[in-house]
Amino acid sequence: MNKKITVLPGDGIGPEIVNEAIKVLNKVADKYGHSFDYKYVDIGGCSIDKFGVPITDEGMEKCKNSDSVLLGAVGGPKWDNVDPSVRPEKALLAVRKELGLFANLRPTKLFPQLADASPLKQEIVGGGIDLLIVRELTGGVYFGSRKTEEVNGEMVATDIMPYSESEIERIGRVGFETAMKRGKKLASVDKANVLDTSRLWRKTMHKLSEEYPEVEYSDILVDNTAMQLIKNPTQFDVLVTENMFGDILSDEASMLTGSIGMMPSASLSSGTLGMYEPIHGSAPDIAGMNIANPLGTILSAAMMLRYSFDMSAEADAIEAAVNKVLDDGYRTGDIMQDGCNKVTCSEMGDLVAERI
């Protein structure tokens, strides 16, 4: 198969980790007889520096006209004080919105080899963590209107968090469908004791749950979810939630896996076009040092093969190669353990590619 991939390396460690994922994708292409055609587009701070905007219209068109998008990371302190209308993160949100990427899948899987790397006790994570966060990605407070204005002599800022029934139903369905393919357990996370959006969320989810009698459904408040993720994470299979709760809970959940550097994500539309990126940020403090962990990005490339290209054997091959590298005792600094071999970002990419 021939596939067009738009590559958005972005800022900080973005270019380094994306290179490693492409190394692995090229190995997959060789081995399985595919051809991947990459088009590079600047996004985030690097685009602001070159073009004055975090992504150009032309770049956005390239994303829309590809079979999938691979992203590194955007942002950094250098652009913290630019006008909010052109912040690096704006581009990421614009791509999500313009490509209709409403469903963000964030699998949280602890590789047993890394159980020691998790800050949680063995008795909590040792049994194996395998949960999936389904985050709504194109609605809520990220996309509602916002303003900062002077009222009675002081500044007042407002961010609106809107959700429509159809938006809730659309992501809710992804939650139920993914639960059906996994452990058939779905927890819907909300703040229905306070927010109207959450009350509508809960009502819509309950209605939907009638269509999925096989799924063991429950509602859980977001604050309690934050606690349960640390106290008893193995109780969860699939969690579905709105945009900001999903952002926060997925960073928290990443720590169950030992390092945020391990976590991939897929942002899916109603078609096959998707965007794939690690959930971590641009880590400007270690940018250019060749020490970042590329595994989250490599595992994101595996999700690309699985979800956008329907290449499940190839995706399995990448996941197995990552597993083998960890078995063989290779670690980047963030997941380093006694008795293991510490490797650089590019060495890690080589090691995974060799094992495809």
How many binding residues for ligand IPM (CB under 6 A)? 5
> For tokens 């956008």, what's the residue?
308
Give min distance, CB of 88 to ligand IPM, in A.
8
Nearest to Mg ion of 247, 314 (CB atom): 247
Catalytic site positions: 142, 191, 223, 247, 251
Closest among 221, 177, 216, 178 to 198, alpha carbons compared: 221
When asked if residue 247 is in the footprint of ligand IPM (CB under 6 A), the reply is: yes
Nearer residue to ligand IPM within complex by CB, 4 or 78: 78
| Interface segment toward Mg ion; rule CB under 5 A; list 186-194, 245-253, 291-299, 303-311 | 245-253
Looking at 34, 64, 86, 89, which residue binds ligand IPM (CB under 6 A)?
89
Residue 89 contact, options Mg ion, ligand IPM, none, Cβ 5-8 Å cut-off depending on partner type:
ligand IPM
What single-letter amino acid sits at 222?
V
Residue 92's binding partner out of ligand IPM, Mg ion, none, with CB under 5 to 8 Å set by partner kind: ligand IPM
Is there binding between residue 277 and Mg ion (CB under 5 A)? no
> To the nearest whole angstrom, how small is the minimum distance from the Cβ of residue 63 to ligand IPM?
16
Q: Does 247 bind Mg ion (CB under 5 A)?
A: yes
What H or E segment, with its residue span, contains residue 158? strand 154-159
Q: Does 239 bind ligand IPM (CB under 6 A)?
A: no
Smallest distance from ligand IPM to CB 326, Å: 24
Q: Which residues of 329-351 are buried (b: 16+ CB within 10 A; e: fewer)?
A: ebbbbbbeeeeeeebbbbbbbbb
- CA distance to 3, 176, 244, 307, per residue, from 210 (Å): 39, 11, 26, 27
Q: 262 with 296: CB under 8 angstroms?
A: yes
319 binds, among ligand IPM, Mg ion, none (CB under 5 to 8 A by kind): none
Alpha helix (H) residue ranges in 6-56 = 14-32, 45-51
Give the residue among 16, 40, 111 at the shortest CA–CA distance from 348: 16
278 touches, from ligand IPM, Mg ion, none (C-beta below 5 to 8 Å by class)? none
92 binds ligand IPM (CB under 6 A): yes
What number of other Cβ atoms are within 10 A of residue 62's Cβ? 19
Which part of the chain contacts Mg ion (CB under 5 A), choosing from 89-97, 151-159, 246-254, 297-305? 246-254
CB 350 within 8 Å of CB 340:
no
Q: Please classify residue 152 by burial: count the beta carbons closer than 10 Å to its beta carbon, then call 0-12 exposed, 13-18 middle and 19+ buried.
A: exposed
With respect to Mg ion, which residue has the nearer C-beta, 96 or 331? 96
263 binds ligand IPM (CB under 6 A): no
Spatial separation of the C-alpha atoms in residues 207 and 210, rounded to whole Å: 6
| Angstrom distance (rounded) from CA 2 to CA 35 | 5
Q: Is 11 in the site for ligand IPM (CB under 6 A)?
A: no
User: Binding string to ligand IPM for residues 275 to 304, with x set by CB under 6 A, is what?
Assistant: ----x-------------------------
In the complex, least distance from residue 8 CB atom to Mg ion, rounded to whole angstroms: 16
Please enumerate in sequence order all residues whose Cβ is within 8 A of that of 312, keeping only pairs 6 or more positions apart, or say none. 305, 306
Q: Which residues bind Mg ion (CB under 5 A)?
A: 247
| Residues making contact with ligand IPM (CB under 6 A) | 75, 89, 92, 247, 279
